[in-house]
Amino acid sequence: MPAFAASAPGKIILFGEHAVVYSRPAIAVPVNMVRARAAVMANPAGPPGQVQIRADDIGLDSPLDALPYDHPLALAVHLVAEQIHVERLPALRLQITSTIPIASGLGSGAAVTTAIARALSAFLGHPLTDEQVSAIAYRVDQEYHGQPSGIDNTTIAYAQPIFFIRGQPFERLCVGQPFSIIIGNTGIASPTSAAVGDVRKAWLANPDRLEPIFDEIGSIARQARKFIEDGLPERLGPLMNHNQALLQDLDVSSPELDRLIAAARSAGAAGAKLCGGGRGGNMIALVTPETAQPVADALRQAGAVNTITTTIEKT
């Protein structure tokens, strides 16, 4: 059997994180510059039926059977086998690599699951649809995030800019004019589940304070959709700044994120905000060809451990 390989992009949430968990709309786009990759090859020389999983980035080289059922890489394999009704997998090797920083708001978990689901299902002769891959990535995310909204797996499995409302079919965004975003990494790993859990506690304690914040974030996402579709990306800057102020009200920013956001704005970014769960991880800034370099330099000087520039192409 030949080897099968697949890859999946990272993602950023442009507008609406956290409020999306409470069924307000959000906008996310794939980031193709960073990717997770999976390769599956037969291992006829290995012990019969043994699935060997290797992920050098996390120092893992283990038979599937030695991992807990709900280990994220193992669970991805089990769910693919269940989906295509394979009771016993043939002896194979699964290799996973990724350039997406872990626990930093770029969707690394969903991208790894997506790449595994695509490569393994193709190897087994039953390539899964985007919808099936997305559902598997959602189930794996559920183990680790508690109650994910589903925006990560959807953006990554379909690899499209999307307008997303939890529990509704997602909509593909038509991008009227391309625009560029710089992603700045604080270098602080921050599990999404902690920030999402704290927002939930705050909401349970005081829904009257949080509901209007979620509403306002949702209305920002709707306005942003219109500007993106109408080809007016320069108008997204003030919306990003407003969204960031509301995320601060939700207490999911951090001094490091605030520092990078302030540096990006001072260097000429039209707007900037955290992206994803917050408390660490990454922020994003809206740039033009003229401001891209000064903003990237300013982010580095303000402590960003890495910057990525990504363009959202016209669709």
Residues designated catalytic: 152
Q: Does 10 bind ligand PMV (CB under 6 A)?
A: no
**Cβ-based nearer residue to ligand PMV, 237 or 276:** 276
Contact positions with ligand PMV (CB under 6 A) in 186-225: 192, 196
- 39 vs 73, which CB is nearer to ligand PMV? 73
CB of 16 to ligand PMV, least distance (A): 7
Closest to ligand PMV by CB, 152 or 256: 152
Q: Which of 4, 9, 14, 17 binds ligand PMV (CB under 6 A)?
A: 17
Segment near ligand PMV (CB under 6 A), from 12-20, 44-52, 258-266, 295-303? 12-20
Helix axes 72-83, 130-145, angle to 10 degrees: 140
State which of positions 40-99 bind ligand PMV (CB under 6 A).
none
| Cβ 184 to ligand PMV shortest distance, Å | 15
Given 6, 18, 96, 240, the residue binding ligand PMV (CB under 6 A): 18
9 binds ligand PMV (CB under 6 A): no
Q: Which is nearer to ligand PMV, 153 or 291 (CB)?
A: 153
Tell me: does residue 253 bind ligand PMV (CB under 6 A): no
Position among 101, 218, 276, 280 found at the interface with ligand PMV (CB under 6 A): 276
Report the interface residues with ligand PMV, using CB under 6 A.
Answer: 13, 17-18, 20-21, 105, 107, 145, 148-149, 151-152, 192, 196, 276-277
